[in-house]
Amino acid sequence: MELRALQRRKERQERGRFTAEGVRVVEDLMASGLVVRWVVTASSLEDSERGSALAAEIERRGIPRRAIPDRDFAALAATETPQAVIAVADVPRAGIDDFRLSAAPAVVLVLDAVQDPGNFGTLTRSAEALGAVGVIALPGTVDPWNAKSIRAAAGSSFRVPIVQLAWVEARSILRERGVEILGAALEGEPIGQEVRERVALVVGNEGAGLSREVREGVDRLVRIPLRGRAESLNVAAAAAILLYELARDRPPATG
């Protein structure tokens, strides 16, 4: 069955599809403009007003829906509390051209081997909330279209362009477009001063930090400007603070 297959990264890549689970996430998906192929719902979905409204919207759009008993539903889900609805949608084809780099100031978030899907989702969510124009996932990073990543992103996966690229390629494209590349590392300089109009912030793996290749290839290393602290922040917390600093020190982008 397709749902089961789409729990595997390889299948998601080959089919160009992913699953989104839960009422809130599927509402966000439906509102995003991405192509929704089909939906499976548990019978209890329509017990709530919100669930009924979602079922009606699925119907209105003519999206094929398979309704199954609650007892059969949980076995289909990839996340722990799937909340009565799973949608299958097309992975959006984004490229760096979809990043609004022209609207400087612009910040790109780059993830170097971030492995936890919850962290990936939280990072994508923070990227959107703090005004980043796009996310680049380097090799070794968890699949952005993992159901857990999507769940943690709370809809941001559908609205922020996410691009998977090799480091050499990403660096070359960013440089061509005048983007300064900052790597987050404890030995960096305090962030906040002398930052260009267009910057990319690279954050590294949960345990190991930036890979050697990335560390050596960025324009500058930066850190959170607190003395003797913040050594042990979770990558998503550290990135939130750094993105906040980048958003704060520069006027907000319009539009």
Site for its own copies in 100-159 (CB under 8 A): 118, 122, 125-126, 128-131, 152, 154-156
Do strands 85-90 and 17-21 pair parallel, antiparallel, or not at all (unpaired)? antiparallel
232 binds its own copies (CB under 8 A): yes
Residue 44 is a binding residue for its own copies (CB under 8 A): no
CA distances from 48 to 41, 77, 87, 163, 230 (A): 13, 20, 18, 36, 43
The pair of structure tokens assigned to 245 is: 């600093």
Q: Are 85 and 42 in contact (CB under 8 A)?
A: yes
Q: Shortest Cβ distance from residue 237 to its own copies (Å)?
A: 4
**48 contacts its own copies (rule: CB under 8 A):** no
Per CB under 8 A, 225 contacts its own copies: yes
Buried b (16+ CB within 10 A) or exposed e, 191-228: beeebeebbbbbbbbeeebbbeebbebbbebbbbeeee
Interacting span for its own copies (CB under 8 A) from 6-14, 37-45, 133-141, 242-250: 242-250
Question: With binding defined as CB under 8 A, does residue 87 bind its own copies?
Answer: no
Nearer to its own copies, 40 or 106 (CB): 106
Report the distance separating Cα 69 and Cα 10, nearest Å. 29
94 binds its own copies (CB under 8 A): no
Residues lying near its own copies in the complex (CB under 8 A)? 118, 122, 125-126, 128-131, 152, 154-156, 224-234, 236-238, 240-241, 244, 247-248, 252
